[in-house]
Structure 1
């Protein structure tokens, strides 16, 4: 998901801004918002501490900078399928799909999650009305730094009979980690047990109308909870009252997603990179690769057929010195790639990175060198995720 440089006048505050500051958060500009990068030590904070707590227990992340959109109308699914390569029309109510917004050249405008949020309308015995599905509705979560461009792109290309609503009065809280379900079960009885990975439901928690989705950006089991901004602090306090839960910031979120091998928009992919080169072919629904009908299909199909010139791969580096974004990758004297995300892995105890590497040097175990501080660090191509995903897919 994405970051960018901003001036002081452009920075917006999150609904939980005062809550974060009250817990000693160090706030930094990210995607147009003041965001917590880490919390004070007396709140169990620090990037490594928050990373490890999330891996072992449950971290609470404020991701309210993300864009939350609703697309409605009888033709909503068909309209979305002209813009994304994922199968939307076959997505059942309550199911979630990761997909991509592409431009006409096949470059990635954004990556996003799409949920079939079509509501079920209960029947009425008195009037004899039977229960039925309401107007088709699709809930989209897009990146914070790109959401305004995404909204403009969608409004330009969606037909007039499809309505796009920016849910700008909603906050979004992510509860991530192996004990997230246990904590959430005590706060909202019944919801975690009813969901598996990439499922979503609505839930009225007292006066708080919520959408709860079992997904996240850490590689761990977890949930993303959309809540009206006015109730966000109450929900955050209630969750953090559970013994398993502590707040976690952007620093831990970044190191967790890197270990999970998950790309960050604006770094590991952008409008100049196609899904095949980005190793996101799984997001191109197999049948739709052949049938097409979505923006960017022809150039993407060409890359699928011919193979990419470069590909996103994982790298493991020797020693303890991490390689950061922009570091050049070599075979001998020839540059063959560039690091797009990198850092020290708290879980593994050594540096890891993602890089775009010339296709003929992307085989697992290929020996490479990374230029860092006028040194050449030994590295090798490694499979991702670096740390296995622990999504809950059912017993």
Structure 2
């Protein structure tokens, strides 16, 4: 643990009795005394507070006009940037020349600049990637003095609105900036739990007091990485480095919904991004393998690395599980992974190899539990 970085909320995590573990180069809370299962269910029923300050926050500031920055940023991914309205946020994907995913991210149009949030494990390479490709048109400014918190769950709006009334008017993927006694808050109505909620960037110096104010509300509990993982798994959301990586295309990953019509064949700004030939072909014809959900017909979860077969004996090794565990809200083991197109139809029976035995799994649609975003 000696070489790990700590977020500005480290002392609060210790005070709250968190179990701390290494994650993406940081010492992070995996759970609190409530335990992973209860933290998960509390977030679904009320509101959970997550420290996600380990993630990368970056400002892209145009050297000239915003249009040139938007066009250059759009050239790095199959997602439309030009045309994103001020005060709105979008899910994005950096791709490589083979159509694989370098990272998934969120970006927001804040009027005179773009604000980008990238995964913790990828932030140094992402910043280098953006610097190399956007240098002529933008200043790439890593944000190093702000924390990032996520408040998620059905009570999140009421809790945050008591401190920042403006959030009650926000809808899913809206972004606002508000000056408060805690400093300037950059708020998006988004998250990675499948619940309505918010992500709040704020000055590190005021983050502990802000977190304590939220935790003082009876509906709010601190939530660790364990429940964050089970929440996103139930919501069918990918974890970079597990469900998606530089060898996975957006189409195979089931992320075609993130590619707007303007970037597809026949669109106004068709192609022009790394890996366009392969991705556009897969959009038209399908990918050889697809991300699907699995319902293991066992009491024990099937976790990442479990091999999937198309028969209880012999047969083909058709794929594997990339994320798996127990779903507290669905009260059953659940998993995600990749299988060929001919095995990807919901209802298909396959077999996962668990401790040398092949046990049945059923392919299912994603998500396992409907999301509750405020549209």
Q: What TM bracket, shorter-length normalisation?
A: over 0.9
1:207 shift after superposition:
4.3
User: Does the alignment pair 1:110 with 2:85?
Assistant: no
- Residue aligning to 2:149: 173
Alignment deviations for residues 228-252 of structure 1 (CA, whole Å, 9 cap, x no partner): 1111101100101111101000000
User: Does the alignment pair 1:82 with 2:75?
Assistant: yes
Decide whether the 8 Å contact of 2:306 with 2:353 is kept in 1.
yes
- In 2, Cα distance between equivalents of 1:161 and 1:139: 15
Structure 1 residues 119-198: aligned runs within 5 Å: 136-189=112-165, 191-198=166-173
1:211 shift after superposition:
0.5
1:370 shift after superposition:
0.6
SS in 2 for 1:319: coil
- In 1, Cα distance between equivalents of 2:284 and 2:15: 54
Decide whether the 8 Å contact of 2:72 with 2:137 is kept in 1.
no
1:317 shift after superposition:
1.1
- Residue aligning to 1:383: 365
Decide whether the 8 Å contact of 2:182 with 2:202 is kept in 1.
no
User: Does the alignment pair 1:313 with 2:302?
Assistant: no
Structure 2: segments with no counterpart, 5+ residues: none
Alignment deviations for residues 6-49 of structure 1 (CA, whole Å, 9 cap, x no partner): xx454101110010011000000001100000012xxxx20001
Structure 1: segments with no counterpart, 5+ residues: 1-7, 119-135
User: Does the alignment pair 1:93 with 2:86?
Assistant: yes
1:302 shift after superposition:
2.3
- In 1, Cα distance between equivalents of 2:159 and 2:350: 44
SS in 1 for 2:178: strand
- Residue aligning to 1:336: 318
- In 2, Cα distance between equivalents of 1:265 and 1:10: 23
- Residue aligning to 1:285: 260
User: Does the alignment pair 1:274 with 2:238?
Assistant: no
Structure 1 residues 251-270: aligned runs within 5 Å: 251-270=226-245
- Residue aligning to 1:35: 28
- Residue aligning to 2:333: 351
- Residue aligning to 1:131: none
- In 1, Cα distance between equivalents of 2:182 and 2:2: 35
Counterpart selection for 2:274 from 295, 299, 304: 295
- In 2, Cα distance between equivalents of 1:84 and 1:283: 10
Alignment RMSD (CA, Å): 1.0
Q: TM-score, normalised by structure 2?
A: 0.95
Counterpart selection for 1:11 from 4, 14, 22: 4
- In 1, Cα distance between equivalents of 2:170 and 2:329: 28
User: Does the alignment pair 1:61 with 2:50?
Assistant: yes
- Residue aligning to 1:51: 40
SS in 1 for 2:42: helix
SS in 1 for 2:120: coil
- In 1, Cα distance between equivalents of 2:317 and 2:326: 23
- Residue aligning to 1:323: 302
Q: Per the alignment, do residues 10 and 101 of structure 1 end up closer, same or farther by CA in structure 2, a change over 3 Å counting?
A: farther
Decide whether the 8 Å contact of 1:218 with 1:256 is kept in 2.
yes
1:319 shift after superposition:
2.5
1:76 shift after superposition:
1.3
Decide whether the 8 Å contact of 2:182 with 2:210 is kept in 1.
no
- Residue aligning to 1:130: none
Decide whether the 8 Å contact of 1:289 with 1:297 is kept in 2.
no
Alignment deviations for residues 355-388 of structure 1 (CA, whole Å, 9 cap, x no partner): 1001110001001111111222211111111011
1:87 shift after superposition:
1.1
SS in 1 for 2:264: helix
- Residue aligning to 1:243: 218
